[in-house]
Amino acid sequence: MKAFLILADGTVYEGESIGSTREVISEIVFNTSMTGYLEILTDPSYCGQSVVMTYPLIGNYGVCYEDMEDPESYVDGYIVREISNSPSNFRSEDKLEKFLVDHDIAGIQGVDTRALTKRLRNYGTMNGMITTNENFVLEEVLPKIKAYKVTDAVKRVSCKEKTVLPGDGMKVALMDFGAKKNIAKSLNERGCEVTIYPAYTSAEEIIASNPDGIMLSNGPGDPKDCGPIIEELKKLYATDIPIFAICLGHQLMALANGADTRKMKWGHRGANHPVKDLTTGRVYMSSQNHGYVVADKTVPEDVAEISFINANDASTEGLHYLGKNIFTVQFHPEACPGPQDTAFLFDKFIDMMEVNKDAEE
């Protein structure tokens, strides 16, 4: 069956339908990862988006459900050059196309993904429609495409009630703004008892649970749409509880302390982004997935200092808050699969909690 990708600028790409045949309008973004497509499809940060994979053959090692970052997929659409229908992997349980069908993800293959990615890089991320309707009228669908906006994304992906992962170490309160499974797992594997809270949980409830530390997760959408959450983070900042934040959590903590965020032209999405530690000068490879970033020179100098920058474009990738047990990063130290160069940040967080607890006693 034919399928079409219609961009907001009027460009049309023709291909073959894979997955769900439903018509969908979403934000079109690209990811440069060679592997990890299941983790991408189940990363809640892609809520409201359709993902273009730049690697030409996707699905060649099948689907292993154990690798899912969330039980659900919030991706609207999936765009590839070619999908593999003959996966080869001893762990494979299904073909990727079946996963797309089961999760009602509209897909299209046979698209010139190099040309599409270059267009998104040249003109910036834009909205688009995936449809199997061969009789679409461009003049009628373009206004709908242009009007689309991702809304209530964090509310859609966050857990609905708190859950606990038992552990005999530090007690961590994880605020779920769209948390990838591996964040809680990375803490739990280090012995932490992790209590996962819905995104809009009050600061008072978090503080009353007497955690040794607070983890702020990744998540989707424009951070400035999360006003009520930002107000609660101001209260958490005012405590002496150690805090570690990733991606959206990093942006929200910055907004809570007077900084600004901006939308990037095409974002950082992939498993090969170099970040530079400004303290040591060392460069790490990182996994990233974000379309917004803490704006340059907006962080108050008496509040925080930049700890990491992107080695490609010098954008802010990490903040260390002065006089506080708080550090935040834009990239994903829990990435799996992906570079694990920065997994030590979880150990740093645990050390921070232990030192703080010893000081209190």
Which residue out of 27, 69, 82, 334 is catalytically annotated?
334
Ligand-binding annotation for 45, yes or no, is: yes
Q: Which residues pair with 19 in a beta bridge?
A: 106
Ligand-binding annotation for 74, yes or no, is: no
How far is residue 96's CA from residue 61's CA, in Å, rounded to a whole number? 9
Ligand-binding annotation for 20, yes or no, is: no
Extended strands (E) in the chain: 2-7, 12-19, 24-31, 49-53, 57-58, 77-80, 82-83, 106-109, 126-131, 163-165, 171-176, 193-198, 213-216, 243-246, 261-277, 283-294, 304-310, 316-321, 326-329
Read off the tokens for 127: 């909205």
Residue 33 φ/ψ, nearest 5 degrees = -70, 145
- Clarify whether 27 is annotated catalytic: no
Cβ–Cβ under 8 Å, residues 245 and 214 = no
Ligand-binding annotation for 345, yes or no, is: no
- Clarify whether 97 is annotated catalytic: no
Q: Give start and end residues of each alpha helix (H) in 42-164.
A: 96-102, 113-123, 138-147, 153-157
- Clarify whether 334 is annotated catalytic: yes
How far is residue 244's CA from residue 236's CA, in Å, rounded to a whole number? 12
Cβ–Cβ under 8 Å, residues 263 and 291 = yes
Cβ–Cβ under 8 Å, residues 26 and 128 = yes
Decide: helix, strand or coil at residue 246: strand
Cβ–Cβ under 8 Å, residues 87 and 60 = yes
Classify each residue of 282-296 as buried b or exposed e, where b means 16 or more C-beta atoms within 10 Å of its C-beta.
Answer: eebbbbbbbbbbbbe
Which residue out of 47, 192, 226, 247 is catalytically annotated?
247
Ligand-binding annotation for 219, yes or no, is: yes
Ligand-binding annotation for 289, yes or no, is: yes
Closest Cα partner for 224 from 258, 184, 255?
A: 255
Residue ranges for the known binding site are 45, 219, 221, 248, 251, 289, 291-292
Q: Supply the residues annotated as catalytic.
A: 247, 332, 334
Residue ranges for the known binding site for L-glutamine are 45, 219, 221, 248, 251, 289, 291-292
